[in-house]
With several copies, the nearest count.
Chain A
Amino acid sequence: MDIHEYQAKEILRENGIPVPPGEIAKNSDQAVAIAKNYEFTVVVKAQVHSGGRGKAGGVKLAKTQDDVRKAADDILGMFISGHKVNEVLVTPAEDIDTEAYLGILIDRETQSPVIVVCAEGGIDIEEVAVNNPNSIHKLSIDPRYGLFRHQAYGLARILYQEKDLVKQAVSIIEQLYQAFISSGASMVEINPLISTPTGDVKAIDAKMSIDDSELFKHPKLQSYRDVQAEPRAETMAREAGLSYVKLDGNVGCCVNGAGLAMATMDLVKYYGGDPANFLDIGGSSNPQKVVAALKIITSDPNVEVILFNIFGGITRCDDVAKGIVDALKEIEIKSPIIIRLTGTNEAEGLEILSSAGLSAFTSMDDVVEQAVSETTK
């Protein structure tokens, strides 16, 4: 789960990392009221789960109250990479001497947290990784021991020469690691980590993702979820316990299992179609999950045909069939439904379908080819 900049900064602050003050405004009046508490210049920053906010015009400097009002009016309501801006962060502008990058993520290869530092900050780290890979330093942390002091010191010295800056950076690195672990994060980054002309090291921008599997331990972090910023269909899917990702095509897909769901999308493409979504109904399906899945798929106006590809294992074919039949009673579905049903309780499932006047394929290729043929292209 991605969280917003201001939420990430709140977590950093709780862990002792110096972060400039700032508050959230949902309209320009609020933004002006907040700005009055700070010395000008202030910065008005769009809070969306997307990079590239600056380039998109989502971050503006404001030297007067009028500037703040105008910036807030401009930014609130705008779309950045498809995400609507509902909130802005108003925060004092900082004098910047140097900008650096500091991040932590989970590395698959070492199966450990990895701390990443780069003395060039403030720009897209992925770009730096391409253009100047040697400037990026990575250090894998043994989960049995955690971060050693000398490791934090070694990383801090990559960022700074001056003794006092190094000392501050050592603390920030240790605090960021602590924040990462205690929040159950999968990624956190400070970009830029700045030093000021007065010799302070601060986190000016922050990004953080929490491992969904950790959320049950952290009720406070759960409340950080921004349902408003999330497409309605994804909220519905999450609440129903389904995995759903919206795409741009017209073949609505409903599959059990993530690998099979991806392979189904790929096969739609293979036969010349275009998948409308990724949707995995998961392992232990029940009819209600299928009903929810159909509601989500049909909420996408692009969908012209609905394709079921079910390979029963834990998932029972009769449950899925029952869900389809139930859904047809509950919701009006105009698109044709093309079904493949095989595996556990296949016979019972086919029986349920045929009682409702539906039929099913048993081969994956057949069902996908048929579904694609039903679309207008």
Chain B
Amino acid sequence: MAILVNTETRLLVQGITGRDGSFHTKEMTRYGTNVVGGVTPGKGGLFFEGHDGQQIPIFDTMEEAVRETAANSTVVYVPPAFAAGAMEEAIDSGVGLVVAITEGVPVLEMSRIHAFAKDRGVRILGPNCPGVISPGKAKVGIIPDQIVVPGPVGVISRSGTLTYEAVINLTRAGLGQTTCVGIGGDPLIGTSFIDCLELFKSDHETQVIVMIGEIGGTDEQEAAQWVSQHLRIPVVGFIAGQTAPPGRQMGHAGAIISGSSGTADEKTRCFEENGIRVAARPIDIVRLVKETLDR
């Protein structure tokens, strides 16, 4: 099993002919993800060549694409000025999962889009996220697939490369993953830590979860409380940003300490109070996962 994406995933790529979209569509098809179509307004009727000469039909609109391909998921690679419109179109099209890679979507637009997605019962992952990979099944987004292998660890993270760092260490130690999810570094994201924890809760193959947080907001704190109340699967944590100064945005739009709230110390303490062991260094995640699995 796995969460969010698997062999049933029928994926569309919004912005398939763009620089990022075309590169990663090739990568996703190479990994075996079932990319059933792409959307670029004005290029409907053409085909995109995926891995090994696979011909992927391009559509002008999401509506046509979903009608013709019975897609159930989409990934958005379009530039920030058009990403909000692409997400709205995706939500309106009938797919159940919208993975938004784009960084720099205005927060006020995301506020309306998240409300729209909730109205329609559509899940958004991101924006400003690396996507999700279920090793051996499907990859949606930009997570390098060379660093993952199937196994019992679920990974949830707000960042991209830090996740890769954690995952490659797990993989090298022989600890494969059910699914690795990057939930995104923006202040308003569609799928929270708790949402992912709930999904992992019903995934019988996931035996331990790694939760990688960072400064800013209270998503980690709420997740920690949820873990202690609702989850039997053990969780190992890591928080980035111990050395970040307050009031400054650390790259991610959401990574900012406001007043005394959202510090790494607060989050670490909250993890520990709720039974989540916290790694001091990324490399220590491996040891904690191993110890947990050995128990």
Contacts and interface: CB of A to CB of B under 8 A. Distances in A.
Complex A–B touching at CB under 8 A: yes
Interface of A: 106, 108-109, 111-113, 126, 129, 142-145, 148-151, 153-154, 157, 163, 181, 184, 186, 211-214, 216-217, 243, 245, 247, 255-263, 265-270, 275, 278, 280, 283-284, 311-315, 342-344, 363-365
A163 B45 CA distance: 14
A213 B105 contact: yes
Interface in B127-182: 130, 142-144, 147, 157-165, 168
Interface in B79-101: 80-81, 85, 88-89, 92
Contact of B116 (A145, A265, A312): A145
A186 B250 contact: no
17 contacts: A106-B108, A108-B218, A111-B110, A150-B89, A184-B108, A258-B159, A258-B214, A258-B250, A259-B163, A259-B214, A260-B162, A261-B250, A262-B162, A265-B242, A278-B244, A311-B164, A313-B142
Nearest to A267: B281
Contacts of A211: 106-108
Nearest to A243: B251
Contacts of B255: 258-259, 262
B81 A259 contact: no
Contacts of B267: none
B125 to A, nearest CB: 15
| Residues of B in contact with A, size category | 35 or more
B238 to A, nearest CB: 8
B163 A108 contact: no
A259 B243 contact: no
A364 B165 contact: yes
Contact of A257 (B116, B159, B188, B245): B159
B104 interface: yes
Contacts of A258: 159, 185, 214, 250-252, 255
B226 to A, nearest CB: 14
Nearest to B252: A258
B108 A181 contact: yes
Give the one of B160, B163, B188, B251 with max A CB within 10 A.
B251
Contacts of A265: 241-244
B41 A153 contact: yes
A314 B214 CA distance: 21
A164 to B, nearest CB: 10
Contact of B282 (A144, A145, A263, A269): A263
B161 A106 contact: no
B37 to A, nearest CB: 16
Contacts of A275: 243
A112 B116 CA distance: 12
A184 B162 contact: no
A365 B251 contact: no
B114 interface: yes
B66 interface: no
A280 B249 CA distance: 12
Contact of A343 (B81, B103, B144, B163): B144
B217 interface: yes
Interface string B268-291: 000000000000111100000000
Given A106-B107, A214-B106, A262-B244, A257 B160 contact: yes
Contact of B143 (A154, A262, A313): A313
Contacts of B283: 363-365
A149 B88 contact: yes
Give the one of B185, B243, B253 with max A CB within 10 A.
B243
B243 A262 contact: yes
Interface stretch (B2-10, B56-64, B227-235): B56-64
Given A258-B159, A265-B243, A365-B281, A126 B259 contact: yes
B250 A243 contact: yes
- In the complex, the 8 A-B pairs of residues with the closest C-beta atoms, listed nearest first: A259-B159, A258-B251, A257-B161, A259-B162, A150-B89, A262-B240, A260-B161, A243-B251
Contact of B240 (A126, A144, A263, A364): A263
B157 A213 contact: no
A274 to B, nearest CB: 8
Contacts of A260: 159-162, 164-165, 240
Given A143-B112, A148-B88, 9 more contacts: A113-B108, A144-B116, A211-B107, A217-B106, A259-B252, A262-B243, A269-B243, A278-B248, A313-B144
Contact of A108 (B62, B112, B143, B219): B219
Contacts of B88: 148-150
